[in-house]
Structure 1
Amino acid sequence: MTTARGGAAFTFVHAADLHLDSPFVGLSKAPQTVRDRLRESTFAALQGLCTLVRQERPDFVVIAGDLFDAADRSLRAQLRLQRALADIVSTGSAVYVVHGNHDPESGRKAKLDWPEGVNVFSSGDVECLPAFNRAGELVAHVYGISYATAAVSDNLALRFHIREGAPFHLALLHANVDGDAKHDNYAPCKLEELSASGFDYWALGHVHDRRVLREYPHVVYPGNTQGRNIKETGPKGAYVVSVSDTGRVAMKFRDLADVVWQEAAVSIEGIGTEQELKHRLLATAEKVQADAAGRPVVARFRLEGRGSLHEKLLQPNVADEWLEELREWLGVPEETDGWLWPDSIVVRTGGVWSLESVSGEEGFLGELLRIGLSVANDEALTRTLLEEAAEALATQPRLRDWLQKRTYEERSAWVRQAMELSASYLREGEANDGA
């Protein structure tokens, strides 16, 4: 579906969630080379954005919040951003920016001047600014509002209203659409509200997964420009958006990540020895490196499938031993591209028998699994069970918040893993009793 606009064609870049100077916590055991490269990776992705602008020569760039990782932003992050934005506007592309929950207006910041051509929306109310193409023609109105403080609970989308006089209307907003449980519910709004607002393109930030929620009108999350942990895997970058004189929108995603986070599955099905598992781990590591096309990779290896190695993998410290050996085999990353650092190995395997099949047996184990499966298959029961089991942890605010954000799929998987472990121990006990 397109609309006849009667305006000139133009191109813009949509980026969000730069998170400059992210600390990358939880990597104390990683070599210094890995830590140093990750520490610089958000800045490298920013440079990638500058390179993208020089190559594509868009008419303007929009950045939808969380340019910095912390409200009290580091000086080096501010200076690097100032330099990068000066680089972008020197190519003839204007820049439009809003601040989000990580970098609200209330945060501590240095007294630096934005380069001419950089437009930063305030937190007072939604502002409307004109956007021009390189020929000087008005091609769009760009609307935006920044966060005043970190925790914004108001539906900011309701404050956006079209101002006539431009052929295209672009709304720049840092928000959680339809209450994504994986992200804090700041500036919550509904997709149906955005769709009915009259805007042609909602340039969103906050959700770190790349998503096109709707087309015509377009409602788009580009994701962040650099993954920051093992939950932010795969390509990360920005969209290059071209709008024709008839309103047709064409989008191209460009990967800007300097370091790739990846989760790789390794199946134990069909193998019965540790030597075979070693071969699969190394073959998977080789493929992950090849897919990264020369960029550094931080990877989690997920052992899955059903097989005879399942019980051995559940033994205490076995996964840690495999991780240490895998790191030894791959070697210490050097200060060059193309290295792979195994972040972790997680065991998600099952025995040669399925829980469902054993649950049909008579006796204690069968009854235990029948009860467990009924819980795992019921969202309310799963939540109740885990809340009761973790009651002692609920006194810790950060742990409580983390548990509350877990999805039903994650909670159900925990219950099934617990059943797998219980079944393995009980089976082992029965075998020993009969020996």
Structure 2
Amino acid sequence: MITVGIPFTFVHAADLHLDSPFKGLTKVPDAVRERLRESTFAALRGLCDIVRREKVDFVVLAGDLFDAADRSLRAQLRLQRALGEMTALGAQVYIVHGNHDPESGRQAKLDWPEGVHVFDSGGVGCLPAFSRDGELVAHVYGISYPTQAVTDNLALRFKKKEGAPFHLALLHANVDGDSSHDNYAPCKLEELANAGFQYWALGHVHNRRILHEYPHVVYPGNIQGRSIRETGGKGAYVVSVSDTGSIDMRFRDVADVLWQEISVSIAGIEREQELKNRLLTALEEVGREAEGRPALVRIRLEGRGVLHDRLLQPIVAEEWLEELREWLGEPEDSKAWIWPETIVVRTGGLLQLETASEESGFVGELLRRGVAATQQSDLSKALLDEAIDALYRQPKIREWLDSRSHEERAQWISQAMELSLSLLREEDAG
């Protein structure tokens, strides 16, 4: 730690993705679609509320403020208004643009409020940040993306300039090659930790992570989940730096709509009524945890039980989904609704695959091969390649399949074995 002298507080947020279109949602009621459409703007208002409540000295926004390079006009106008509120509350704002909103994108000719500083792409800029009393508390550094696909290591361009007690670097980047995000502005954690800055305010990765402390290297995540891959609370960090240089971080959840994934086990139940009760109880718990906010929920049916074979029947999962929506009622604009997004069946029969694989004959041989493939990466890939040879000839499908992990392939194979065993047992019984 270092001696700062003057304590100060700032907000670190990123990946606002204002006016995100929420693609891929079908058959949703108008109330769900409209609430999602407004959710990124509601989360932005939440950031303004943080500035008001916490009386922060400044705000840093680490890229992807907009969802598309050609920003929608309403997104730009809403952001202009929100930034005006923040600066009117006494906070300065520092911004970099990322891969979703690079400088090359189409932009309206708007004036940003006084006190808003946008770093350009020409080089790493350095700007002073002041406390509300006008005292210099930090140097803030940043650089924006000129175009979407920036593959250079921008972190190597950051050089500390003396003259401030604290140094904060603002960067939209992929640290250590996170495979779940495009590898833009790739850099290594070691490079950031040894660069001489006290805080790296990062953007790009949508899950909040503190990669390192003293110096702090931080992803706050996005402020509003946009799909089932982005579950739970979303928001920003409020960061307080003491006069001795110690850092206190507090996460503030501003998400307007929650995405959740829950597991419901079929183990120990024999009747559909019992499954219905478990599903409704689980969704009631989601409602309590949402604290008055609406939620879209993916339900994973898991465990082994006698209902497994019935759940594998065509359209059964879809029927459960439709009935759940009916029981929960039609979402309304002003209500904290729960909307089951989908039901995924990951259950198993009472007979363990490993046990069934000990049988002689075709069934045993089929399952032995499948079980072996779930345990070895090379076998799982070879088995899937053989099974879907026709699909594999399509370049885009091949690229997608090759990018799947062994765990995903093993899950597919296990499901296929469960289904095969169920169908073969059913045929034998008939």
TM-score (norm 1): 0.95
* 3-state SS of 2:196 partner: coil
Q: 1:217 and 1:381, CA in 2 relative to 1: closer, same or farther beyond 3 A?
A: farther
* 1:46-65 mapped onto 2 (5 Å cutoff): 46-65=44-63
Change (3 A) 1:145 1:304: same
Q: Give the aligned residue type for 1:249.
A: I
- Give the stretch that moved more between structures: 370-379 or 75-84: 370-379
- Aligned with 1:421 (options 419, 422, 428): 419
Which residue pairs with 2:116 in the alignment? Answer: 118
Q: Distance in 2 between matches of 1:369 and 1:320?
A: 28
TM superposition shift of 1:358 = 2.4
Aligned to 1:39: 37
- The match for 1:320 is 318
Question: Measured at CA, do residues 289 and 127 of structure 1 come closer, stay the same or move farther in structure 2, by a change above 3 Å?
Answer: same
C-alpha distance 138-151 of structure 1, shift in aligned 2 (>3 A): same
Give the letter aligned to residue 181 of structure 1: S
In structure 2, the CA distance between the partners of 1:19 and 1:401, relative to structure 1 (3 Å rule), is: farther
The 5 Å alignment of 1:36-185 reads 36-185=34-183
Q: Is the 8 A contact 2:4 2:137 kept in 1?
A: no
CA 1:337–1:403 in structure 2 vs 1: closer, same or farther (change >3 Å)? farther
Q: For residues 321 and 387 of structure 1, do their structure 2 counterparts lie closer, same or farther at Cα, with a shift above 3 Å needed?
A: same
Paired with 1:379 and 1:114, the residues of 2 have a C-alpha distance of 53
Instruction: Spell out the pairing of 1:260-279 with structure 2 (5 A cutoff).
Output: 260-279=258-277
Q: Match for 1:349 among 344, 347, 350?
A: 347
- Which amino acid is 2:48 matched to? C
User: Following TM superposition, by how much is the alpha carbon of 1:22 offset from its aligned partner in structure 2, in angstroms?
Assistant: 0.4
Match of 2:363 in 1: 365
User: Quick one: distance in 2 between partners of 1:159 and 1:389?
Assistant: 49
How many residues of Structure 1 are paired with residues of Structure 2 in the alignment? Answer: 430
Q: Please state how far the C-alpha of 1:256 moved relative to its aligned partner.
A: 0.3
Unaligned runs of 5+ in 2: none
Q: Any gaps of 5 or more consecutive residues in structure 1?
A: none
Q: For residue 82 of structure 2, what is the amino acid of its counterpart?
A: A
Report 1:280-359 matches (<5 A): 280-359=278-357
Deviation of the 1:335 alpha carbon: 1.8
- Match of 1:350, SS? coil
* TM-superposed deviation, 1:378: 2.4
What is the CA distance between 1:363 and its match in structure 2?
2.7
Q: 1:400 to 1:199 in 2, by over 3 A?
A: farther
CA distance in 1, matches of 2:386, 2:141: 47
Moved more, 136-145 or 392-401: 392-401
Cα contact 1:181–1:405 (8 A) shared by 2: no
**CA pair 398-53 structure 1, distance change in 2 beyond 3 A:** farther
Match of 1:10?
8
Amino-acid identity (%): 69
User: What is the rounded CA distance, in whole Å, between the counterparts of 1:53 and 1:401 in structure 2?
Assistant: 45
Q: Deviation string for 1:27-69 (max 9, x for gaps)?
A: 2300001000000000000001101110001111011111000
Report the secondary structure of 1:302's partner residue. Answer: strand
Deviation sequence 1:222-259 (CA, Å, 0-9, x none) = 11100011111100000001111111111000000000
CA distance 1:242–1:408, shift in 2 (3 Å) = farther
The C-alpha deviation readout for 1:108-166, integer Å capped at 9, x for no partner, is 11111111111111111111111111121111111111111111111111111211121
Distance, in Å, in 2 between the alignment partners of 1:89 and 1:402 is: 45
Q: Give the aligned partner of residue 409 of structure 1.
A: 407
Over aligned residues, Cα RMSD in angstroms?
Answer: 1.7
CA offsets, 1:343-366, max 9 Å, x none?
111101111122223233333222
Identify which range, 312-321 or 398-407, moves more after superposition: 398-407
Q: Does the CA-based 8 Å contact 1:172-1:202 persist in structure 2?
A: yes
